[in-house]
Structure 1
Amino acid sequence: MLNYYAFRFKEGLSKIGLGVKSRSQTKPEKTKNTIKKELFNFEHIALYFSNKKTHNAFQVLSDHTCNDLDFDEVFQFLDRTQSRVGQQYLYDKLRCIKLDEAQTQEDEVLIERLSKDAVLRSQIQKELDRLKHKEAYYISSLFQEEHIQVPSWFLAIKLLSFTSFCTLILTFFNPVFFAVLLGVFCVNFVIHYWNKRNLVKYVSSIPQLLKLNKVANQLLKIEYTKPDDSKILKAVSRINQLKNRTLFFQIEAGIQGDFEIVLWFLLDIIKTLFLLEPLFLFGALKRLDRERVEVETVFKYVGRIDSLLSVALLRNGLNSWCTPHLSDVNTGVVAKEIYHPLISDCQVNSIETRERSVLLTGSNMSGKTTFIRTIGINILSGLTLNTCFAKQMQFRPMRILSAIRISDDLMNDKSYYFEEVLRIKALVVAGEETVPNLFLLDELFKGTNTAERIAAGKAVLSNLAQHGNTVLVSTHDIELTDLLTETYELYHFSEFVAEERIIFDYKLKAGKLKNRNAIRILELNKYPVTLIEEAKKLAADFDDFKNISD
């Protein structure tokens, strides 16, 4: 209770100019097409996605794959939304991959218009800016979460409210009733502040819902953001009817003048006397419970427009991008001058897998894993945002599954190898389903011995490449390049040593890796001479043994 009053007192001070400036006194910042510098609270951003009961998607991107693709960092780059609603919608859009060609084409029309029309962008940004406050993150809870149930003794609240009204009137005729009014007020005081814990759940979300509805209403007046069907119009109209029931959420903010703190306390006394807050709160919640579908409809409408504006701003800020060509048949992955969006001045590469999978070799830090992530990120952005970071991109829709970052699970007593076994098993099971998959793998079975790692790796990779799946895998095991030539295209990354320095060019090259620099790198880092000589001799012996075996 004290915290509640402290919050309200501080807010009151801000309004009369004795504290932090109120929102009405602060001009919104001019929106720029740059990466946001704000702190990303993914717990709040993911609320809409996490609380969904059903996703109805081609694929829901798993936490494992998100971690493997550095999803949070990628999202921070992609996110150019103006509102918290749009931010949540965009996050859900990237995690829930849906295939709807008609919707994609419709979205492209608006994205293209937004890309070219600066006046339209500014007009929409101005409206969406109303929903930039962090409290807007909680709007989705109004249609996704269960509301507080009306107490079984709610009738007593109505009776006490009515009694207060009657005794107040009678007090003017007989002062004796003032004692009765005072007694009723004491009871109501307890109930009023009991209800504060219920009120605090909605003191943020309901006012933001009304702002959302106001924004939607303004967007409906814009020619290019007006939907074809009337469903959104009806939803906005239905939510608009909640205004009177939620008046007490906003009335305090509407009081103006130097005496507004005093007025606020007087208003709170009136609300206590007549138990207005619990009456209005449970009335509003009852209505909101019936309007869940309408609230979600408006949420999606505004979120979609903001996410499309985000895509338009993203594209305008890129030097190179393309819309992907999605094929109905397995044509493999065709990527021309593809790059990783998070790497500045990234080396572009091109690849054409046709109907085969890809086996990448190369030393550490040469670019193997980064290239695998680059393909995964571009497939994801292509399927969800219809935008790829390449000059040309062609592939058929595939689920994105990965095993790149794997670590021990000490809490559940699982070793690295056992954790890897479980992850790979899940991919094998998924690979046998009828839906085509893109498997992104890095160094299979690192947690076991060389012989069994190569044997198991070959068997797994052959299995995953079946059923029309596409595999991109990196490895240090050159032996696999000889064992998988029938089903895998061979590519490699390499480095060279010049002037006592190791130079990586990060260029993808076709064929099998032939150069080896591991021992040379040890030598450059001043390892003992005897150690280097022994390593070179053993490497030569291994090569001789392999040649004899072949």
Structure 2
Amino acid sequence: MKTTKPENPQHIKTGFFNFSQIEKYFLNEKQKSVFQAISDRTFQDLDLEDIFKFIDRTVSSVGQQYLYYFMRTIPDGDTRRQRLERVISVFKKDPDLKTALTAEISKLNKTDAYYISGLFHGKYTERPSWYWLIQTLSAISAMAVILSFFFQQILIFLIILLPVNLGIHYWNKNNLHQYGSSIPQLLILTQTAQKILKSGEFAPQNVGLQKSVDLMDQLGLPMSIFKIEAKLQGEIGQFVDYVFELIKALFLIEPVLLFTILKILDSKRQHIQNIFQFVAETDIALSILALRESAPYCCKPTITAQKKHLHIEQVYHPLIFNGVANDITLDGKSVLLTGSNMSGKTTFIRTVGINALLGQTINTCFAKQFAMSAMKIHSSIRISDDLLGDKSYYFEEVLTLKNLLEESQSGHSNLFLLDELFKGTNSIERIAIGKSVLSYLTRGNDLALASTHDRELSDYLADTFDLYHFTEVIDEESVVFDYKLKPGKLRTTNAIRILELNDYPKEVVAEAVRLVDGMKRG
């Protein structure tokens, strides 16, 4: 089941994804109020970076950052999903409003907009201890210019004062540069929120947000100095630019305004974040609607109160074009998968994990039906040797599974995704440890989807695990995989036959057959 992107995709973004910027909101946001923050290991195991690229149909940088946060956090309760569905339903009923707001939100589709979150997450530049001197020199300069109209001798004083103010002005340029991207975008963000709220569909549910928008709107004039400067740099000649720079330096406009604005913004962090989340969630709703409209089929999940329950119909991997869909139902028991390499075991485990995650985050599953209890998702799929850290494959897996064993005792329901446990050790101990670990992981309200090449493991776990398998069909000249999940234990082996089909030397094949026969008789 080779992973490939769909042909003729709609709205799928191309080009570079700057994940160092996209992940900033997730990394800096406190995760205390969520049910689960998806670990880096599970993010990598499920190929969620590629899944994000496929799902991301946002039109703004703030929406893209927040969508990444959505995918990395399972919320505690249904409030976030209900809010999301309410906005999606608005856009489905009013295509004209959808088009208009898409155009407004897309004004934030700039790299600079990634820095807005720093205005409520980051630490602000502190005022220097000698800020009083900046204010004093600014006031003196303004007074001297006024008095020079009556006493021309004061111009000499201004000529002496100008180099001092120029030094402070250019000292402050580094501070100004830090906010030269985020503050102009904050102005656009506030204006965008204001336009969204003008719609009668959004205003009633966001009375408190209007207060945040109004407070930030009052700061529009002093913050405009950042926007004006950026505009002037692009539109006026060098001479006029020099004159404008001289005026700002003489009156120390930039440092006075900057530290005044930062003090105000520091007290308005929550209001800025409220506006950010509102605009970003609106963009996410547009993105998910576009995703659903472009999918062959999808559904909204049913989150049940029933423990150890998973019912899936016609589930497929979103990145596999024309992939094979499968059904499975778990009710009190977990699943052990057997099958040869490339038959589809690992892809199926990832498919279930991806859809269980997306169902609980963006309320969308690539299936006809997907019912599950609320579960945290953990995985041990893609493990490799840590050569720099001097850790073997087996030791790396031991540490990973130790974390999962600890999670199983957390009191929450968990979904464990496990691919070929302990393949870094010998077969006898692998089967023994695998049985012990899988039994321990599923003692409470937890479910596990595990794959193995050890068919003997099936016998030890038959009471607590349902057995399924994938297999291939071998004819005279080829190996064909149908990728269909089948109930029961795999009873056929085709590894040696596959060697033969791939033109291995006859002596190698014959010896392998003799050894297998001897082992079976022994």
Q: Bin the TM-score by the shorter chain.
A: over 0.9
2:128 corresponds in structure 1 to 151
Change (3 A) 1:335 1:277: same
2:414 corresponds in structure 1 to 437
For structure 2, the 5+ residue unaligned runs are: 1-8
Q: Does structure 1 residue 391 correspond to structure 2 residue 368?
A: yes
Normalising by structure 2, report the TM-score. 0.95
Matches within 5 A, 1:45-84: 45-84=22-61
Change (3 A) 1:413 1:325: same
Residues 225, 305 of structure 1: 8 Å contact kept: no
Matches within 5 A, 1:95-494: 95-253=72-230, 255=232, 259-330=236-307, 332-494=309-471
CA distance in 2, matches of 1:391, 1:434: 31
What does the per-residue CA deviation read over 1:277-321, in whole Å, with 9 as the maximum and x for residues that have no partner? Answer: 000000000000010010001011111111111111111111211
1:544 corresponds in structure 2 to 521
CA distance in 2, matches of 1:103, 1:97: 10
Q: Which amino acid aligns with 2:110?
A: H
CA distance in 2, matches of 1:164, 1:147: 28
CA distance in 1, matches of 2:489, 2:115: 53
Secondary structure at 2:382's aligned position in 1? coil
CA distance in 2, matches of 1:343, 1:388: 14
Q: Which amino acid aligns with 2:487?
A: A
Give the superposition deviation at 1:223: 2.1
Secondary structure at 1:244's aligned position in 2? helix
Change (3 A) 1:54 1:336: closer
Give the superposition deviation at 1:326: 1.0
CA distance in 1, matches of 2:39, 2:79: 26
Secondary structure at 1:335's aligned position in 2? strand
| Higher relative contact order (Cα pairs below 8 Å, separated by 6+ residues) | 2
Moved more, 103-112 or 358-367: 103-112
Q: Which amino acid aligns with 2:336?
A: L
Q: Which amino acid aligns with 2:491?
A: K
What does the per-residue CA deviation read over 1:353-387, in whole Å, with 9 as the maximum and x for residues that have no partner? Answer: 21110000111111100000000010011111111
What does the per-residue CA deviation read over 1:159-193, in whole Å, with 9 as the maximum and x for residues that have no partner? Answer: 11122223333444444433321221111111111
Q: Does structure 1 residue 503 correspond to structure 2 residue 480?
A: yes
Secondary structure at 2:201's aligned position in 1? helix
Residues 31, 37 of structure 2: 8 Å contact kept: no
CA distance in 1, matches of 2:37, 2:329: 27
1:12 corresponds in structure 2 to none
Give the superposition deviation at 1:248: 1.4
Q: Which amino acid aligns with 2:241?
A: W
CA distance in 2, matches of 1:67, 1:159: 56
CA distance in 1, matches of 2:253, 2:83: 47
Q: Which amino acid aligns with 1:183?
A: I
Normalising by structure 1, report the TM-score. 0.91
Secondary structure at 2:317's aligned position in 1? coil
Residues 308, 446 of structure 2: 8 Å contact kept: no
CA distance in 2, matches of 1:257, 1:45: 27
For structure 1, the 5+ residue unaligned runs are: 1-31, 546-550
CA distance in 1, matches of 2:11, 2:234: 39
Moved more, 402-411 or 391-400: 402-411
Q: Give the aligned length.
A: 514
Secondary structure at 2:220's aligned position in 1? coil
CA distance in 1, matches of 2:32, 2:71: 12
Change (3 A) 1:259 1:462: closer
CA distance in 1, matches of 2:459, 2:481: 25
Residues 308, 447 of structure 2: 8 Å contact kept: no
Q: Which amino acid aligns with 2:56?
A: D
Q: Root-mean-square deviation (CA), in Å?
A: 1.7
Give the superposition deviation at 1:331: 5.0
Q: Which amino acid aligns with 1:477?
A: D
Identity %: 46
Q: Which amino acid aligns with 1:455?
A: A
Give the superposition deviation at 1:513: 0.7
Residues 115, 316 of structure 1: 8 Å contact kept: no
Q: Which amino acid aligns with 1:137?
A: Y
CA distance in 2, matches of 1:257, 1:320: 47
Residues 33, 76 of structure 2: 8 Å contact kept: no
